[in-house]
């Protein structure tokens, strides 16, 4: 991006809470059920039905707010947000307007270079999700009929609104990942973008670098994956800059992101912006929380990624970047902490290396999620013990690790079954070294003429002959001894 | 003559085995068949449903079951904005024609549990909007005292059904006076309970912060009996207070010794008819004779209450009626080419003019440029009205006013003049804004038409209010007068 322009981004993130039941009724909150099976008069908004606030949804929303460093409104209320749409059965959404449950929070993100930035959260409010339209055709326009599934109608949602503090698509991506991670840590949502339990509207504007005023923004709706957020931001960034550089003016618009085509299209302009006609929801009394209520929720919070990250850096000496990768998913952090507990604190860096380099690679290759870590902390610790005892070499360990992933067996079992123990018998190794040197007179001549790398080559040969089971330091010592013997004999 | 008996009497006779539930039901059905063609109190008579229910009650009683609720064997009519599982519920609107709710309103559940027989659904102003019973999409209801006159609204059918002795008891709903005003104009007793005493679950909302379901009957005892059945905690309504009213006890010599009554002068303004004023003033004297102390007082915000009401109620209604969009149930306009056209035509064809008028007023009052000037201001006025009452109840146990400034007007007389129609609820509206209980009891006649006396109580003083009204009723007997619908009906046919 040209240095002339600065991008300003604000996000509105919708997250479905994983409560047992819906927010206004006792219908089950579950993903993937047969259409219109988890419905009742309340979530269908049948005439005469009334909403009743689900206490668990309220608690989860407060929990999310506390985890995101927000203040909690002691007196909040619900408001009606009026709009017509077939998946909105009451003709209004029950949301929060001027008194959101949580406000003034923040999330710190860590870049790859280890520096961090603070993204402020303006507010978090609690509301209900709408149903889902299924169009019987290729798209809305071509569909003969549209069907409505109300299973999702009434599922509790929190809307997290950031201040316009994000400056790039990379930061947006980091923020969303961090947000997802925190919400998962506190167990308030399964935050699966692919199941729509996390969705995002993106506000993008561009201004001359160094300017204090904001440019005119466009809002991207229906952005349903992290990569779409990144691509959408970059698309809008380019669109705005090219308009501005051609001397034009950006219009304030709501646009729809079409991920498959990689473009945004106009949904509505400022002139025909919707008037939601908010007013206080008369069917629900205000929500009054005491300090004790808030403290009780705070006490139920688990240790959060920022705190664990600080601990990983100060107590275990990990780099900020390594620590940020480990804490990104609760399962990774739990795995790491357990493995270190078993392997000993002095092994923390080694454990981190195995986790970040080997485990992550394997999981990426196999497409495994954080809840499908293929090696247990016990298994890794067991393998590290074998290295420490000298039973296997570091090189063999990589083989053992692969086999652990494949078979699920412990390192010890694998080593025994495959005969992978380190050859530590000097006499036997020296014999092999002598054979290797004798069998390769040409390389021996190279070594004699002063080519130092030739010795390494012989070490390699020795390793090959022992299938990697030789101790590398010992191997170099014995190869050198064999070479010198050979030279002495000549 | 069974249809002329009180609910209390019917219940006793049923329990004693002197009248079967089927006999009671058949008697009521035949009374409805003979007079309702001229009165028009019912939208739907659920004859089969009621008889089936009556047969079950009889079978239970014959089998020796004695665990019956206080309304066992008593036919009750239900306003058509209260959901009845399996019985069409239309709110007297074309947009809900054919809609059969899959669930019962809490009050209906309680009626059933108490052994009541739901006899049918009563006519009303469409979506409870109106003060004359003339805005129903299914025809007008007539005042049993004069069939050329309106019975009052919006619970027109529920009031007229009791007044014409079609049923001993009925349920209505009161948003700005919709129980008390028709009770006054048809000469029956109607109670608007404290907001939050009776669950609204299953009441099709007009204005959620004002609506309250309440009973109609010929006398205070019957009304109290029905109130006790329907009031009480309900977790399905978050605005329900979770309180059970104390038992209402009647008996002994009526006395109001030590009761302090306030007479707010704003309720006796220039709009009040001379006949109405005279009857109410006589009633106040009688209350004094019963031992009450009576003193004039002032509720200065009264004059603004009507304006505030006509912002707040339509604002809430505009949201509450948004669900009638043709997507899931009720009426859907045929042949629309797109979604917006379907919405537009469904609502244009489905709603009547008064409902449309209020939806538009409400939508306008809530729109972003006007919210502060209208809705917010109206809520401030509402607070002032509440404060006025709080001040008054610092000095008085109850307030006494006319229920309606006039007697029943002629059909069609105010239909094209909505503003004059709105004035009919001027004495009842402040009570809804403050969420207070109030009762209308018959206090005589002016030009042959019934006049109602309104007693307003403090929050959750419904029981005291009923006792006060009972004392008055005991010494006056106005509630015993009955219209001669048979004769009039005969003449009409």
Closest residue to B238, CB basis, from A52, A92, A279: A52
Residues of B known to be catalytic: 79, 154, 178
Residues of chain B found within 8 Å of residue A282, distances taken between Cβ atoms: 207-209, 239, 316
Whole-number pLDDT of residue A379: 93
The answer to whether residues A182 and A309 touch, using CB atoms and an 8 Å cutoff, is no
Q: For A216-267, how does the pLDDT look when each residue is reduced to its tens digit (9 = 90+)?
A: 999 999 898 999 999 999 999 999 999 999 999 999 999 999 989 999 999 9
A149 to chain B: closest CA residue: B328
- Quote the minimal CA–CA distance from A71 to chain B in Å: 26
Q: For B376-406, how does the pLDDT look when each residue is reduced to its tens digit (9 = 90+)?
A: 999 999 999 999 999 999 999 999 999 999 9
- Quote the minimal CA–CA distance from A82 to chain B in Å: 7
DSSP A356-395: IIIIHHHHHHHT--GGG-SS-HHHHHHHHHHHHTTSS-HH
Q: For B187-220, how does the pLDDT look when each residue is reduced to its tens digit (9 = 90+)?
A: 999 999 999 999 999 999 999 999 999 999 999 9
**Does the distance separating the beta carbons of A48 and B205 come in below 8 Å?**
yes
Whole-number pLDDT of residue A192: 86
DSSP B261-298: EEEEGGGGSTTS-HHHHHHHHHHHHHHHHTT-EEEEE-
**Does the distance separating the beta carbons of B343 and A279 come in below 8 Å?**
no
The Cα–Cα gap between B141 and A263 comes to 60
Whole-number pLDDT of residue A445: 86
Whole-number pLDDT of residue B493: 36
The answer for residues whose C-beta is within 8 angstroms of residue B166's C-beta and 6 or more apart is B3, B28, B31, B32, B35, B36, B39, B41, B42, B77, B160
For chain B, what is the mean pLDDT?
96
- Quote the minimal CA–CA distance from B237 to chain A in Å: 6
Asked if B366 is an interface residue toward chain A (Cβ–Cβ < 8 A), one would say yes
B492 band by pLDDT with thresholds 50, 70 and 90: very low
The answer to whether residues A423 and A448 touch, using CB atoms and an 8 Å cutoff, is no
Dihedral (CA of A391, A395, A401, A404) sign: negative
A415 band by pLDDT with thresholds 50, 70 and 90: confident
Whole-number pLDDT of residue A138: 66
CA distances from residue B54 to B20, B23, B25, B117, B229 in whole angstroms, order as listed: 8, 9, 7, 7, 19
Question: Which has the minimum average pLDDT: A41-50, A478-487, B158-167, B419-428?
Answer: A478-487
- Quote the minimal CA–CA distance from A29 to chain B in Å: 18
Length in residues, chain B:
493
Among A171, A193, A27, smallest CA distance to A109 is for A171
A194 band by pLDDT with thresholds 50, 70 and 90: confident
The Cα–Cα gap between B3 and B23 comes to 10
The answer for residues whose C-beta is within 8 angstroms of residue A406's C-beta and 6 or more apart is none
Asked if B80 is an interface residue toward chain A (Cβ–Cβ < 8 A), one would say no
B437 band by pLDDT with thresholds 50, 70 and 90: very high
- Tokens 């939601």, located at residue: A276
Asked if B6 is an interface residue toward chain A (Cβ–Cβ < 8 A), one would say no
**Does the distance separating the beta carbons of B319 and A48 come in below 8 Å?**
no
Whole-number pLDDT of residue B37: 96
Residues of chain B found within 8 Å of residue A80, distances taken between Cβ atoms: 319
Candidates 1.10.3720.10, 1.10.10.410, 3.40.50.300, 2.60.40.420; CATH matching A426-488: 1.10.10.410
Residues of chain B found within 8 Å of residue A49, distances taken between Cβ atoms: 103, 201-202
**Does the distance separating the beta carbons of B366 and A48 come in below 8 Å?**
no
DSSP H stretches of helix in B332-435: 339-350, 353-366, 377-395, 418-423, 429-434
Q: For A397-411, how does the pLDDT look when each residue is reduced to its tens digit (9 = 90+)?
A: 888 898 998 888 998
Q: Mark B384-415 as b/e (b = at least 16 C-beta within 10 Å).
A: bbbebbeebbeebbbbbbbbbbbbbbebebbb
Q: For B140-193, how does the pLDDT look when each residue is reduced to its tens digit (9 = 90+)?
A: 999 999 999 999 999 999 999 999 999 999 999 999 999 999 999 999 999 999
**Does the distance separating the beta carbons of A277 and B366 come in below 8 Å?**
yes
**Does the distance separating the beta carbons of B236 and A277 come in below 8 Å?**
no
* Mean pLDDT score, A430-438: 86
Whole-number pLDDT of residue A203: 97
Residues of chain B found within 8 Å of residue A44, distances taken between Cβ atoms: 328
For chain A, state the CA radius of gyration.
30
Residues of chain B found within 8 Å of residue A52, distances taken between Cβ atoms: 235-238
A282 to chain B: closest CA residue: B209
* Mean pLDDT score, B34-53: 97
Task: Say how many C-beta atoms besides its own lie within 10 A of residue A40's C-beta.
Answer: 17
**Does the distance separating the beta carbons of A279 and B322 come in below 8 Å?**
no
Among B145, B164, B7, B151, smallest CA distance to B73 is for B7
The Cα–Cα gap between A414 and A417 comes to 5
**Does the distance separating the beta carbons of B323 and A285 come in below 8 Å?**
no
Closest residue to B319, CB basis, from A44, A52, A92: A92
Asked if B382 is an interface residue toward chain A (Cβ–Cβ < 8 A), one would say no
Residue A137 has pLDDT above 80, yes or no: no
> Which of B366, B374, B377, B433 should one mutate to test binding to chain A, selecting the residue with the greatest count of A CBs within 10 A?
B366
Residue A426 has pLDDT above 90, yes or no: no
CA distances from residue A249 to A218, A267, B285 in whole angstroms, order as listed: 12, 18, 77
Closest residue to B209, CB basis, from A84, A148, A282: A282
**Does the distance separating the beta carbons of B323 and A90 come in below 8 Å?**
yes
Size of interface A-B (CB pairs under 8 A): 101
- Strand ranges across the sheet with A116-128: A71-72, A102-110, A116-128, A156-162, A5-16, A198-208, A218-223, A253-258, A263-269
Whole-number pLDDT of residue B259: 97
Closest residue to B375, CB basis, from A50, A91, A279: A279
Whole-number pLDDT of residue A478: 85
- Quote the minimal CA–CA distance from B120 to chain A in Å: 18
Whole-number pLDDT of residue A424: 63
Question: Which has the minimum average pLDDT: A125-139, B71-85, B269-283?
Answer: A125-139
**Does the distance separating the beta carbons of A53 and B367 come in below 8 Å?**
no
- Quote the minimal CA–CA distance from A156 to chain B in Å: 17
Dihedral (CA of A69, A75, A78, A79) sign: negative
Residues of chain A found within 8 Å of residue B205, distances taken between Cβ atoms: 47-48, 283
Where are the domains positioned within chain A? 5-297, 305-418, 426-488
Asked if B301 is an interface residue toward chain A (Cβ–Cβ < 8 A), one would say no
B491 band by pLDDT with thresholds 50, 70 and 90: very low
For chain A, what is the mean pLDDT?
91
Residues of chain B found within 8 Å of residue A48, distances taken between Cβ atoms: 81-83, 89, 101, 105, 201-205
The answer for residues whose C-beta is within 8 angstroms of residue B273's C-beta and 6 or more apart is B405, B406, B407, B446
Closest residue to A277, CB basis, from B202, B209, B367: B367
Whole-number pLDDT of residue A371: 87
**Does the distance separating the beta carbons of B322 and A90 come in below 8 Å?**
yes
Asked if B328 is an interface residue toward chain A (Cβ–Cβ < 8 A), one would say yes
Whole-number pLDDT of residue A140: 63
Number of H helices, E strands in chain B: 16, 11
**Does the distance separating the beta carbons of B329 and A279 come in below 8 Å?**
no
Residue B420 has pLDDT above 90, yes or no: no
DSSP B408-421: --BTTTTTT-HHHH
**Does the distance separating the beta carbons of A45 and B323 come in below 8 Å?**
yes
**Does the distance separating the beta carbons of B339 and A277 come in below 8 Å?**
no
Q: Mark B129-138 as b/e (b = at least 16 C-beta within 10 Å).
A: bbbbbbbbbb
Residues of chain B found within 8 Å of residue A278, distances taken between Cβ atoms: 366
> Which of B325, B372, B374, B435 should one mutate to test binding to chain A, selecting the residue with the greatest count of A CBs within 10 A?
B325
The answer to whether residues B170 and B77 touch, using CB atoms and an 8 Å cutoff, is yes
Closest residue to A275, CB basis, from B236, B327, B367: B367
- Quote the minimal CA–CA distance from B368 to chain A in Å: 6
Instruction: Give the 3-state secondary structure percentages of chain A, helix then strand then coil, rounded to 5.
Output: 40, 20, 35
- Quote the minimal CA–CA distance from A123 to chain B in Å: 21
Among B325, B351, B321, smallest CA distance to B336 is for B325
Whole-number pLDDT of residue A399: 85
Residues of chain A found within 8 Å of residue B366, distances taken between Cβ atoms: 82, 277-279
Residues of chain B found within 8 Å of residue A92, distances taken between Cβ atoms: 319, 322
The answer to whether residues A156 and A183 touch, using CB atoms and an 8 Å cutoff, is no
Among B250, B294, B289, B296, smallest CA distance to B469 is for B250
Task: Say how many C-beta atoms besides its own lie within 10 A of residue A44's C-beta.
Answer: 22
- Quote the minimal CA–CA distance from B94 to chain A in Å: 14
Closest residue to B368, CB basis, from A275, A282, A285: A275
Q: For B440-461, how does the pLDDT look when each residue is reduced to its tens digit (9 = 90+)?
A: 999 999 999 999 999 999 999 9
**Does the distance separating the beta carbons of A283 and B105 come in below 8 Å?**
no
Whole-number pLDDT of residue A71: 98
């Amino acid at each position: 991006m040209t240095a002339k322009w600065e991008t300003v981004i604000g996000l509105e993130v919708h997250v479905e809470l994983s409560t047992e039941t819906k927010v206004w009724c006792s219908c089950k909150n579950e993903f993937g059920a047969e259409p219109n099976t988890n419905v009742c008069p309340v979530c269908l908004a049948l005439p005469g039905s009334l909403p009743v606030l689900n206490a668990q949804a309220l608690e989860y929303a407060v929990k999310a707010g506390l985890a995101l460093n927000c203040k909690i409104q002691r007196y909040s209320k619900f408001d009606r947000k009026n709009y017509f749409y077939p998946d909105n059965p009451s003709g209004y959404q029950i949301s929060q307007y001027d008194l959101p449950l949580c406000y003034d929070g923040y999330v710190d993100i860590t870049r790859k270079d280890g520096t961090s930035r603070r993204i402020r959260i303006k507010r978090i409010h609690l509301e209900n999700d709408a149903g889902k339209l299924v169009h019987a055709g290729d798209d809305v326009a071509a569909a003969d009929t549209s069907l409505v599934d109300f299973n999702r109608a009434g599922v509790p949602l929190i809307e997290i609104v950031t201040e316009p503090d994000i400056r790039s698509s990379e930061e947006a991506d980091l923020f969303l990942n961090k947000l997802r991670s925190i919400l998962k840590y506190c167990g308030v949502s399964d935050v699966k973008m692919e199941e729509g339990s996390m969705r995002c509207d993106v506000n993008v504007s561009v201004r001359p670098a160094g300017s204090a005023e904001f440019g005119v923004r466009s809002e991207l709706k229906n952005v349903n994956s992290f990569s779409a957020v990144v691509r959408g931001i970059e698309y809008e960034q380019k669109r705005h800059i090219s308009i501005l550089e051609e001397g034009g003016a950006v219009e304030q618009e709501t646009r729809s992101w079409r991920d498959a085509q990689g473009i945004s299209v106009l949904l509505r302009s400022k002139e025909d912006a919707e008037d939601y006609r908010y007013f206080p929801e008369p069917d629900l009394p205000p929500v009054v929380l005491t300090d004790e209520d808030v403290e009780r929720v705070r006490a139920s919070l688990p240790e959060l990624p920022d705190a664990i990250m600080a601990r990983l850096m100060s107590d275990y000496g990990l780099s900020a970047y390594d620590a940020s990768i480990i804490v990104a998913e609760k399962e990774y952090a739990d795995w790491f902490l357990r493995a270190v507990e078993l392997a000993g604190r002095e092994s923390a860096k080694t454990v981190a290396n195995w986790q970040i380099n080997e485990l992550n690679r394997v999981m990426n290759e196999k497409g495994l999620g954080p809840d499908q870590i293929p090696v247990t902390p016990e298994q890794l610790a067991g393998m590290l013990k074998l290295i420490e005892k000298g039973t296997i070499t570091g090189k063999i360990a990589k083989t053992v690790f692969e086999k652990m992933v494949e078979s699920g067996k412990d390192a010890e079992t694998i080593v025994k079954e495959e005969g992978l123990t380190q050859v530590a018998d000097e006499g036997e190794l020296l014999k092999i070294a002598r054979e290797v040197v004798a069998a390769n007179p040409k390389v021996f001549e190279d070594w004699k003429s002063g080519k130092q790398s030739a010795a390494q080559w012989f070490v390699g040969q020795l390793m090959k002959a022992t299938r990697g089971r030789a101790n590398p330091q010992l191997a170099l010592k014995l190869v050198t001894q064999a070479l010198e013997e050979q030279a002495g004999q000549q | 003559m069974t249809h002329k008996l009180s609910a209390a009497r019917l219940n006793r006779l049923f329990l004693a085995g002197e009248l079967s539930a089927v006999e009671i039901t058949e008697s009521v059905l035949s009374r409805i068949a003979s007079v309702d063609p001229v009165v028009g109190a019912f939208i739907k008579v659920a004859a089969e449903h009621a008889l089936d229910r009556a047969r079950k009650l009889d079978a239970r009683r014959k089998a020796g079951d004695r665990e019956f609720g206080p309304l066992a064997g008593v036919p009750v009519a239900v306003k058509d904005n209260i959901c009845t599982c399996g019985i069409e519920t239309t709110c007297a609107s074309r947009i809900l024609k054919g809609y059969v709710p899959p669930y019962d309103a809490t009050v209906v559940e309680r009626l059933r549990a108490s052994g009541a027989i739901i006899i049918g659904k009563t006519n009303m102003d469409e979506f409870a909007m109106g003060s004359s019973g003339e805005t129903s999409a299914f025809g007008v209801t007539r005042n049993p005292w004069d069939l050329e006159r309106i019975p009052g609204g919006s619970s027109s059918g529920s009031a007229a059904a009791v007044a014409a002795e079609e049923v001993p008891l009925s349920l209505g709903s009161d948003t700005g006076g919709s129980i008390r005003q028709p009770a006054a104009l048809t000469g029956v007793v109607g109670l608007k309970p404290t907001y939050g005493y009776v669950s609204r679950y299953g009441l099709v909302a007009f204005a959620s912060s004002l609506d309250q379901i309440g009973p109609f009957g010929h006398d205070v005892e019957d009304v109290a009996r029905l109130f006790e059945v329907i009031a009480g905690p309900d977790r399905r309504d978050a605005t329900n207070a979770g309180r059970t009213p104390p038992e209402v006890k009647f008996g002994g010599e009526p006395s109001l010794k030590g009761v302090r009554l306030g007479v707010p002068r704003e309720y006796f303004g220039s709009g009040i008819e001379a006949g109405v004023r005279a009857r109410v003033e006589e009633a106040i004297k009688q209350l004094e004779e019963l031992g009450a102390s009576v003193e004039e007082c002032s509720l200065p915000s009264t004059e603004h209450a009507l304006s505030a009401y006509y912002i707040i109620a339509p604002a809430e209604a505009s949201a509450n009626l948004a669900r009638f969009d043709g997507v899931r149930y009720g009426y859907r306009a045929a042949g629309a080419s797109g979604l917006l056209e379907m919405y537009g035509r469904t609502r244009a064809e489905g709603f009547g003019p008064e409902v449309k008028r209020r939806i538009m007023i409400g939508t306008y009052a809530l729109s972003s440029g006007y919210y502060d000037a209208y809705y917010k201001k109206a809520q401030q006025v509402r607070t002032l009205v509440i404060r006025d009452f709080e001040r008054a109840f610092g000095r008085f146990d109850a307030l006494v006013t006319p229920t309606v400034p006039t007697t029943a007007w002629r059909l069609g007389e105010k239909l094209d003049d909505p503003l004059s129609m709105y004035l009919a609820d001027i004495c009842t509206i402040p009570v809804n804004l403050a969420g207070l209980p109030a009762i209308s009891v018959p206090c005589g006649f002016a030009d042959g038409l019934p006049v109602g006396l309104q007693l307003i109580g403090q929050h959750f003083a419904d029981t005291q209010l009923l006792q006060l009204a009972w004392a008055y009723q005991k010494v006056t007997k106005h509630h015993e007068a009955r219209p001669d619908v048979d004769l009039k009906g005969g003449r009409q046919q």
